[in-house]
Amino acid sequence: MDIVGLTIEKLHKAIKSKETTVTEVCQATFDRIEKLNPKLNAFLTLTQEKALARAKTLDTQLSNDLEMPSLFGVPIAVKDNICTEAVRTTCGSKILENFIPPYSATAITKLEEAGAIIIGKTNCDEFAMGSSNENSAYGPVHNPWDLTCVPGGSSGGSAAAIAADLCVVALGSDTGGSVREPASFCGVFGLKPTYGRVSRYGLVAFGSSLDQIGQFGKTTSDVARVLSVVAGRDLHDATSSNCDVPNYLASLNGDIKGLRVGIPKEAFGIGLSKDVKSVVETAIKNLEALGAITVEVTLPHSEYAIADYYIIATAEASANLARFDGVRYGFRAENNKNLSDLYRYTRDLGFGAEVKRRIMLGTYVLSSGYYDAYYLKAQKVRTLIEQDFHSAFAQCDIIAMPTAPIPAFKLGEKTEDPLEMYLADIYTVTLNLAGVPGLSMPCGFSREGLPIGCQLVAPHFQEAKLLQVANIYEYAYPNTKHLLLS
């Protein structure tokens, strides 16, 4: 049987009925990666030997009389800024080119306990800083729908791997849209959970008050299965939440009749491409056809979101990346006359241009005389943005809006204009600032045949509602256009 492209449910049925084995699934996955990764550059590190050994062990353990763990034998890809014990973790940066973590992130440990097989680490913008995956020290990722286009960033490798059937599910990280935007550009489902829903232990920090580990899948049910495994309180992460973890898979049932869907007027104004506007508006009409009720809401402070985000995120990045100095681990420049030279040359040679830009911005806004004018004021604006969402959710159950203002753009198109690149995050950064969950679901295509995503937003810790709505939409309006990549 053709085992490439199967969902978790179909994969489990095939293994249970002995139509295939975990080892065959794993080998077929690596065969496809070997064939397509040279075109996509989605994976930076593969764990083939370790993965096949684990697959063989799982096949030995399998019994028809036992219930399979929820991710039994599922090949999963992991963004290369999430620590994996004894497996290289580069963060897409030269400064960590040969870094081998001595431990695994909590999310990785939970996945393996649920039976998943880690097949490799995916390419990403350096330290997750970027909207196109062109900032990686190891070359850009190419969009499977059009190899001349970007896959979105910073988790572009994970999104491209899902779209091209190089894995079944994948992990990414989302600081300002880094799961949702590539999900939109690559035509897959991508979820950013509520801040604190998933432990950040083992996620290499970019913006500590913004970062969250997110999930990619070809279906909402696959995303729900992964979230059910990785969500929950972790003693290693003081910011992780004690909130109960619901059965996300069970929550996919029901209907959305009477569901109030808020439409923020600010999300459909200047800068939104005609294709995205048309496709997302059609998706909203489809939700109405399924029984939802649309209401207009307002997010009045969203116009300040990009400026606010790039003050807070860069300030936190400046502090977090100070640890990469060539002293303790990672790349170290040679021929240094003194300690000052060691720091300067290591960071100059180890970091790429975008990371340096953000470190300098962050250092500036935290510096004496500017802290109150920039960073403190940005935190106050952040509070206003969060209050906007509270006010909106008093009038609706979820919010629907574009994930990105444009479809995937050409490689190299925006690299010379950082501000234009930053504006690609205009609809996603607000959710990170407010800490609320968001999900990008495929809902159509541009005139050039590129995927477009609709972003669903819910109140804190209501990921189940997002998954339910997206699942109902997925089955009512299935994607009939398939990726032709071989």
Structural element, H or E, at residue 117 = strand 117-122
Residue among 132, 158, 178, 251 flagged as catalytic: 178
Name the pairing type of β-strands 213-217 and 169-173.
Answer: antiparallel
Per-residue pLDDT tens over the stretch 32-78: 999 999 999 999 999 999 999 999 999 998 876 677 899 999 999 99
Q: According to the model, what pLDDT value does residue 130 have?
A: 96
Q: At residue 149, what are phi and psi to the nearest 5 degrees?
A: -110, 160
Start-to-end CA span in the chain (Å): 18
Q: What is the mean pLDDT of the chain?
A: 96
Q: Is the pLDDT of residue 253 over 80?
A: yes
Whether the bond between 104 and the residue before it is cis, its omega within 30 degrees of 0, is: no
DSSP string, 152-201: -SSSHHHHHHHHTTS-SEEEEE-SSSTTHHHHHHHTSEEEEPPTTSB--T
Mean pLDDT on 257-274: 96
The answer to whether residue 318 is catalytic is no
Q: According to the model, what pLDDT value does residue 368 have?
A: 86
Q: Which band of pLDDT confidence, cut at 50, 70 and 90, is reported for residue 1? A: low
DSSP state of 98: T
Q: Which band of pLDDT confidence, cut at 50, 70 and 90, is reported for residue 486? A: low
The answer to whether residue 79 is catalytic is yes
Residue among 93, 131, 132, 154 flagged as catalytic: 154
Q: Say what the pTM is.
A: 0.97
Q: According to the model, what pLDDT value does residue 419 have?
A: 86
The distance of Cα 143 from the centroid of its chain, to the nearest Å, equals 15
The answer to whether residue 178 is catalytic is yes
Per-residue pLDDT tens over the stretch 344-381: 999 999 999 999 999 999 999 999 889 999 999 999 99
Per-residue pLDDT tens over the stretch 378-402: 999 999 999 999 999 999 999 999 9
Q: Are the beta carbons of 334 and 346 closer than 8 angstroms?
A: no
Residue among 79, 110, 192, 465 flagged as catalytic: 79
Q: Are the beta carbons of 448 and 407 closer than 8 angstroms?
A: yes
Comparing CA positions, the residue from 114, 144, 45 lying closest to residue 86 is 45
Fold of 8-262+280-297+391-476: Amidase signature (AS) enzymes (3.90.1300)
Can you give 397-455 as a three-state secondary structure string?
Answer: CEEEEECCCCCCCECCCCCCCHHHHHHHHCCCHHHHHHCCCEEEEEEEECCCCCEEEEE
Q: Which amino acid is at 38?
A: P
